[in-house]
Amino acid sequence: MNDDLKEVLRVGENRVEFVDFRMYEDRSGYTKENIYGINVSKIKEIIKYPDPKEIISVHGKSDVLEGMINLRGEVIPIVNLAKWLNIKEPQDPSIAKSKKIIVANFNNVTVGFIVHEAKRIRRFAWSDIKPPNDVLSSQYENKIIGTINNIDDEDKEKVLLIVDFEKICEELGIFSKEDVEKIEKGISNVKVSRKANVLIADDSSMARKIIKEAIDPITEKLYETKDGQEAWELLNTLYETSNGNIKSLLDLIITDVEMPNMDGFTLTKKIKEDPRFQTLPVVINTSLSGGANLAKAKSVGADDFCTKFIAEEFVRAVTNNVK
């Protein structure tokens, strides 16, 4: 991990870096530039779009899956992001020439995403990231999980959209369905003295659905929140409702890291520094795998850390923290 990324992940910084990439859209008479972002820490590398002859065809799959490429001995799926976002691509040779593939890692799975142009790295505070409004969510069919306004000093109208890449992987079956089934089977075998009250904080509706279904056998009541700020506000409400006995209403918190308004590391740190909540078990469940993120989770006081949809890790984390 480079020094800049280490600085971004430092406790208390509450900042994140995104690669700003562009997708161009044919709008009948003009070309519209759309600005999107992906977290730097998920990116392995950015490569030039290969010669079409090098792309291995995948028959019987969605046309969103462009095919597979052999990247230095590793065969990885390549996703046509324009098709998934329902963007009509301009027939412009210069755009075709500038195409890149962002090679990223999600939950220990390597995937390539075709973009029209990779511009630059931008740094933001997590609080800069806001959930998409209802109009945007409807327009993009819930494929956008965050927005950042005023990204450019020269043009205050520019907005960066954060794509739900996990949703892409789930829809295309890139995530192992066997792992999801293993999670559900593993949780169903967990023996508990009583069913638990669980709070989930995750901005991905797909991830919340998988977690909800997986822990259903051991869950009495489930609280769903879409970001760290919403989870923090709910915790305070539950504390008041319980007359200070928060553990009568809540047994476990499962939080993602990358979320609008407040990230999961900051949420965990706030919980563990607050005498009202610090005894509540917190499991960080994220697609940000690797030693640096595990170290970060430990530094903010998380009780456990697991990579999303890796069955053994998730079942272990939940089992260890539900009594």
Tokens found for residue 50: 């290969």
Domain ranges of the chain: 3-171, 177-321
Residues of the chain with pLDDT under 70: 1-14, 60-61, 153-156, 175-177, 289-290
Per CATH, domain 3-171 is 2.40.50.180 = yes
* Cβ pair 282, 301 in contact under 8 A: yes
pTM of the model: 0.79
C-alpha to C-alpha distance for 116 and 107, rounded to whole angstroms: 25
- In percent, the amount of the chain with pLDDT more than 90 equals 59
List pLDDT tens digits, range 2-41.
443 344 344 445 678 999 999 999 998 899 999 999 999 8
CATH H-level, domain 177-321: superfamily: Response regulator (3.40.50.2300)
Tokens found for residue 273: 């520094």
DSSP string of 73-118? TEEEEEEEHHHHTT------HHHHHH-EEEEEEETTEEEEEEESEE
Q: Residue 13: what pLDDT?
A: 53
- Bridge partners, residue 65, by sequence: 79
Same fold, 3-171 and 177-321: no
